Structure 1
Amino acid sequence: MRRVRYESAGGPLFVEEAAVPEPGAGELLVRCEAVGVTLPVVRKVTEAADPIPLGGEIAGTVVAAGEDVSRFRAGDRVTGLCFGHGYADFALLREDMASPVPDDATCVDAVALVRGGLVARGALHAAGPVRGESVLVTAAASGAGQLAVRLARVLGARRVVGAVSDPAKAGFVRSLGADDCVRYGDERWGEPYDCVLDAVGGDLLTPALAALAPHGRLVAYSSGGGTIQAYDLLVGAKSVIGFQMALIARGRPELYERWRRELWRLFSDGALRPAVHGEFALEDAAKAHEAVQARANLGKVVLRP
């Protein structure tokens, strides 16, 4: 089978031939039909000291199951988070990380919707009820950001605004249902917001906090780090809430599953359809990474083995 790999931090991605892995206990062997490219994986390729397996969101068809697998069998379509080599024709997926793909959805739909949608839904859950409120979403054109914009509207937000790095993305963000779109470098981001969902972090935390109305909440769910001054919280009695999807998946699996079912219900009803920026062959994985790293994508970037 083909597999994408690299040999040193920041080194070029290349396709190599590798043996098809054997599923161990509790594992599924999946023929990959779609692989989601995420910013955390792109960052690790450029920043990690040692090479890592290129994993992430995969979707495809089960071709074999290891011992102790009870929920899936060969022929089932599944999606889930792969912690090993996922940029490949075949990948191993733990059964407890797998969920079924409905008949009315494609595997591309699955990798564009589930993980990013869970992150977006979780960030909105962390923010508290947003019905009747104003919400600002940073990285609004990203795989998770686009879904946060749409979900905020579904959950009854009065006003939803997207924030992006490039004004050329404004039309796309408005097409998601946003009332407006602002640029990170703008001096002001419009009216003060009841809630800001931030997926960027770093230097953007300060203007994101400044954009909040008194008693507003900033939900930080970025891997980009950053620092906030306590005084900036005291002025206006603002709050910062951290959110991490892994803690929900491990600690509250029933909530994780409820959100997953909610996402697929909204998808089937036509109320939530993820945008896909582009589909890349495995041989073009470097181009897919470039699009995500440059924040040039409008929606989810997907590999198609």
Structure 2
Amino acid sequence: MRRVRYERSGGPEVLFLEDVPVPEPGPGELLVRVEAVGVTLPVVRKVREDRDPIALGGEIAGAVVAVGEGVTGHAPGDRVTGLVFGPGYAEYALLLAAMASPVPDGASAVDAVALVRSGLVAYGALEAARPAPGESALVTAAASGVGHLALQLARLKGAGRVVAAVSEAGKADFVRGLGADEVITYDRAEWGEPVDYVLDAVGGDLLAPAVRALAPHGRLVAYSSGGGTVAAYDLLVGAKSVVGFQMALIARGRPELYEAWRRELWQLHASGDLRPAVHAEFPLDEAARAHRVIEARSNRGKVVLIP
């Protein structure tokens, strides 16, 4: 089978395609014939920044072709999606059965990688903000794979005003089409009227202006891998708060909640209320192009690899 790998950190140019044997599922694992792979910013960052190469894992969707010892509830032919921690940029991948979710009839593998993992992160970040009906929201990286879903979910959960923060003005029409009332770019000195909560997928230098954008008693949910620092005084003067959110903790520690969120996402998708957008689909041998799109922050929605 073909898979994408790299041997040293750097930009997209370090990725290469290789032929390797199809893996065999171990205990608790599914062997999946991969039909779609979601490209994420954390993986792109790790390729560029981490000293030691990692397996290019992430969101996959496809058909189960074999199951490992002890697996129940899954069988060859089932269509599933989930997060793989080993090699995922590949024609076949090993997925822990505990991380696998069914793909409903009528939904494509691309639908699944655009909706499920990104949607779960967006949903969980919104839940962590404890939104009340009528409150105002600001979503950073609002045109990203997660952000464009968070923007829609904030509205669906009753936000009275939704502000989309994006890297450049060319994304304004895209996020307005998904329900944003206002659009701001990161380089603005002021981000407009304060909001009750911020869902931040960027971190780094954007944390400080995101905190300033909060109204008194406002909440910022940080779910980015971009790091950053918040000054305690900036929280103190407005009685503001910051909470971190990580999807993996929910998947491992609250599987019943993970499953309930997943079901609701598919219901919202089936009803047409939640519209996952796909920026582009790239073949496996163009994984470097997919990474360049993410690095440039030029995507409007999800970037997907098709093995």
TM-score, reference length from structure 2? 0.98
1:107 offset after TM fit, Å? 0.4
Q: What value does the CA root-mean-square deviation take over the aligned residues?
A: 0.8
8 Å Cα contact 1:162/1:173 also seen in 2: yes
One-letter identity of the residue aligned with 1:252: R
**CA deviation map 1:240-265 (0-9, x unaligned):** 11111111111111111110111011
In structure 1, how many angstroms separate the alpha carbons of the residues matched to 2:255 and 2:97? 14
Which of 73, 76, 97 lines up with 1:74 in the alignment? Answer: 76
1:29-68 mapped onto 2 (5 Å cutoff): 29-68=31-70
1:67 offset after TM fit, Å? 1.0
In structure 2, how many angstroms separate the alpha carbons of the residues matched to 1:52 and 1:219? 27
1:279 offset after TM fit, Å? 0.1
8 Å Cα contact 1:28/1:66 also seen in 2: yes
In structure 2, how many angstroms separate the alpha carbons of the residues matched to 1:16 and 1:103? 33
Alignment-derived partner of residue 6 in structure 1: 6
**CA deviation map 1:1-31 (0-9, x unaligned):** 1100111111611111010001111111100
1:294 offset after TM fit, Å? 1.2
**CA deviation map 1:76-127 (0-9, x unaligned):** 1000001111000100101000010000210000000001100010011000
Which of 143, 152, 157 lines up with 2:145 in the alignment? Answer: 143
Alignment-derived partner of residue 164 in structure 1: 166
Alignment-derived partner of residue 251 in structure 1: 253
In structure 2, how many angstroms separate the alpha carbons of the residues matched to 1:273 and 1:102? 16
- The 10-residue stretch of structure 1 (185-194 or 138-147) with the greater mean CA deviation from structure 2: 185-194
One-letter identity of the residue aligned with 1:7: E
8 Å Cα contact 1:59/1:78 also seen in 2: yes
Which of 108, 111, 115 lines up with 2:110 in the alignment? Answer: 108
SS at match of 1:266: helix
1:130 offset after TM fit, Å? 3.4
SS at match of 1:228: coil
Alignment-derived partner of residue 179 in structure 1: 181
| Structure 2 residue ranges without an equivalent (≥5) | none
Which of 83, 87, 90 lines up with 1:88 in the alignment? Answer: 90
SS at match of 2:162: strand
Identity of aligned residues (%): 72
SS at match of 2:281: strand
In structure 2, how many angstroms separate the alpha carbons of the residues matched to 1:23 and 1:226? 39
One-letter identity of the residue aligned with 1:74: P
Which of 238, 241, 263 lines up with 1:239 in the alignment? Answer: 241
One-letter identity of the residue aligned with 1:183: T
In structure 2, how many angstroms separate the alpha carbons of the residues matched to 1:193 and 1:175? 21
Alignment-derived partner of residue 208 in structure 2: 206
**CA deviation map 1:187-235 (0-9, x unaligned):** 1112110011111001100000000111111111111111111110111
Q: Runs of at least 4 residues of structure 1 off by over 6 A?
A: none
In structure 1, how many angstroms separate the alpha carbons of the residues matched to 2:7 and 2:242? 39
The aligned length equals: 305
In structure 1, how many angstroms separate the alpha carbons of the residues matched to 2:7 and 2:132? 45
In structure 1, how many angstroms separate the alpha carbons of the residues matched to 2:56 and 2:132? 36
1:266-285 mapped onto 2 (5 Å cutoff): 266-285=268-287
SS at match of 1:130: coil
Which of 214, 217, 221 lines up with 2:223 in the alignment? Answer: 221
Which of 17, 20, 28 lines up with 1:18 in the alignment? Answer: 20
| Structure 1 residue ranges without an equivalent (≥5) | none
1:129 offset after TM fit, Å? 2.4
One-letter identity of the residue aligned with 1:243: F
Which of 295, 299, 305 lines up with 1:293 in the alignment? Answer: 295
Which of 190, 193, 196 lines up with 1:191 in the alignment? Answer: 193
